[in-house]
């Protein structure tokens, strides 16, 4: 998202060993026709030796071509793992027979108001990790989700925030959540979700919140 140079600089200057930092980036559909050039540009801008995970941003013309280019960079050790974003049951079923390396991860929209359980189960059955973008509801919708009375009640019971309850719900669904924040307090809050668990009843109550309400188009 136009920040590869800055991320690369941050990694190089952090003092943290490269092996302890996981860096992910994406190719956009307008790059699929010439993926090698796009991948080389990513590597140049990051300047950190290799990319831990590269995704296709969403399905598009030449997506298989772009993915196969990423496969070549995996073989060369320049990319460690590859995946896709915004691929659902039909898309992933059509895609898999055309590629050689099964995506390690599919990144899709997911939050309590859009749980997409059928897709999640299908991807898990394929042995693919699912990662949620918009894990907290997304732009323009986060406030409503964070004020949800069911989530608020569960959070109060555990002496946790609603954000922590939502992130814990994702984890207990075996879904990776990637909340973004530049606020150090929020970052600490986001990672402090490993010292409590939601009960089966609480998980069921959150499941009942599903509205099939998608907050972005892809």
Catalytic residues: 1
Strand order in the sheet with 79-85: 24-27, 51-56, 79-85, 105-109, 129-133, 175-177
Euclidean distance between CA atoms 159 and 165, whole angstroms: 10
């Amino acid at each position: 998202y136009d920040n590869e140079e800055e991320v690369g600089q941050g990694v190089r200057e952090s003092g943290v060993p490269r092996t302890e930092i996981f860096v992910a980036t994406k190719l956009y559909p307008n790059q699929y026709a010439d993926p090698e050039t796009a991948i080389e540009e990513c590597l140049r801008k990051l300047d950190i030796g290799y990319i831990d995970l590269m995704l296709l941003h969403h399905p598009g013309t030449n997506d298989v071509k772009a993915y196969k280019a990423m496969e070549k960079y995996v073989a060369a050790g320049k990319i460690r793992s590859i995946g896709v974003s915004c691929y659902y049951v039909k898309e992933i079923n059509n895609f898999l027979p055309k590629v050689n390396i099964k995506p390690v991860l599919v990144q899709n929209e997911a939050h309590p108001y859009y749980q997409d359980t059928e897709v999640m189960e299908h991807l898990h059955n394929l042995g693919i990790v699912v990662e949620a973008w918009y894990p907290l509801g997304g732009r323009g919708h986060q406030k409503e989700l964070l004020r949800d009375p069911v989530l608020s009640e569960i959070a109060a019971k555990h002496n946790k925030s609603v954000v922590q309850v939502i992130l814990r719900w994702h984890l207990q669904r075996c879904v990776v959540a990637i909340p973004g924040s530049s606020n150090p307090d929020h970052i600490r809050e986001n990672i402090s979700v490993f010292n409590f668990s939601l009960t089966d009843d609480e998980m069921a109550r959150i499941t009942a919140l599903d509205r099939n309400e998608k907050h972005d188009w892809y």
